[in-house]
Structure 1
Amino acid sequence: MTKVVLIGPPGSGKTTLGRLLAQRLGLTFRDTDSDVEAVAGKAVSEIFIEDGEERFRELEHEAVRAALAEHDGVLSLGGGAILHEKTQELLGGHPVVYLEVGLADAVQRVGLGSARPLLVLNPRSQLKKLMDERRPIYERLAVLRVVTDKRDPEELVEEIVKGLPA
């Protein structure tokens, strides 16, 4: 069973903290966006453009399902993976950590010239909208919530390790 699942909006630090957390716990790290890209043979942004968001969400759900079944380390989910109802169901019983980030920090980390498909037009406004829409789902799914704004990654890893259910 997956030991830790990281969720949160773009720019919350899922990949950075996931790698550090896996290293700290002596586990492997897996990112479902990378899994989707491997299966599709193209970047997430290309999937959105060529196949559409619906197809991407199908691939993403399958990647999450497979990773939760196969991976016994730290797992990072794409920011919108939690939108799929079946994915929400699959996360039940797993140690889910919500990495919360404020808009200013998220914009700084993601960058306004981002290649992220859902942030193409007016990235700051789009990011705020995504964060506002998804926040209640992130909060409901999480067993631990960690605010990442203006904090050192090592400090955040320690907070996650201490806050995880035994």
Structure 2
Amino acid sequence: MTGPAVVLVGPPGAGKTTVGALLAERLGLSLRDTDADVERMAGKPIPEIFFQDGERRFRQLEAEAVRSALGGHDGVLSLGGGAVLDDGTRALLSGLPVAFLDVALSDAVKRVGLDAPRPLLAVNPRQQWRTLMEARRPLYLQVARAVVGTQDRTPAEVAAAVLDALELRTA
């Protein structure tokens, strides 16, 4: 096994899970989402991990989930929005087919609503999202082999753009 065929990174609302499912279908592979892995490991939803155990514990679980997925999944992998904050994760992503799904705030709001149960966006969500992106954008760009804008594109169009950008053939 050489690792995932595609790794998707980006902020909340970028469409990583939706686009990942389309990519998996087109490539004839499975989809794995590290946020779902974290919830399984903890036995509770991410907001509860944040509120009961703290962000530090969540980030530890997230890094563990990413390491496991990168070492044991050869399909499409969707990483949580903050996974790139971990130095070890960024090192593991080096050389892999990583696509950064770049989304504008207005589109992120339409897709997930900023009133959704997202712990880091709980207070003043628009400003928090902007602050997150200022900190994370350089990290997304650091790990990405391709940057795919999502503005004015359907999930199917984004998936096609990822396949083109990473020069992948469909099944």
Identify the residue that residue 157 of structure 2 maps to in structure 1.
155
Deviation, 1:165, is 4.5
Identify the residue that residue 70 of structure 1 maps to in structure 2.
72
1:25-104 mapped onto 2 (5 Å cutoff)? 25-104=27-106
Deviation, 1:44, is 0.4
Q: 2:147 matched to 1:145?
A: yes
Q: 2:120 matched to 1:112?
A: no
Deviations 1:125-166 (A, max 9, x none): 101110111001101110010000121111111111111146
Deviations 1:87-111 (A, max 9, x none): 1001112100000001111122121
Q: Quick one: distance in 1 between partners of 2:24 and 2:63?
A: 22
What is the identity, as a one-letter code, of the residue corresponding to 1:155?
E
What percentage of residue pairs aligned between the two structures are identical?
57
Residues 154-163 or 53-62, more deviating: 154-163
Q: Which runs of 5+ in 1 are unaligned?
A: none
Q: Quick one: distance in 2 between partners of 1:53 and 1:98?
A: 23
What is the identity, as a one-letter code, of the residue corresponding to 2:60?
E
Determine if contact 1:29/1:73 at 8 Å carries over to the other structure.
yes
Q: Quick one: distance in 1 between partners of 2:134 and 2:116?
A: 19
Identify the residue that residue 128 of structure 2 maps to in structure 1.
126
Q: Quick one: distance in 1 between partners of 2:155 and 2:167?
A: 20
Q: Quick one: distance in 1 between partners of 2:146 and 2:114?
A: 29
Q: Quick one: distance in 2 between partners of 1:9 and 1:44?
A: 15
RMSD between aligned residues:
0.9
What is the identity, as a one-letter code, of the residue corresponding to 1:130?
L
Q: Secondary structure at the match of 1:2?
A: coil
Q: 2:5 matched to 1:3?
A: yes
What is the identity, as a one-letter code, of the residue corresponding to 1:26?
G
- Using the size of structure 2 for normalisation, the TM-score is 0.95
- Using the size of structure 1 for normalisation, the TM-score is 0.97
The alignment of Structure 1 onto Structure 2 pairs a total of residues equal to 166
Deviations 1:6-50 (A, max 9, x none): 000000000000001100110000000000000100000000000
Q: Quick one: distance in 1 between partners of 2:49 and 2:75?
A: 27
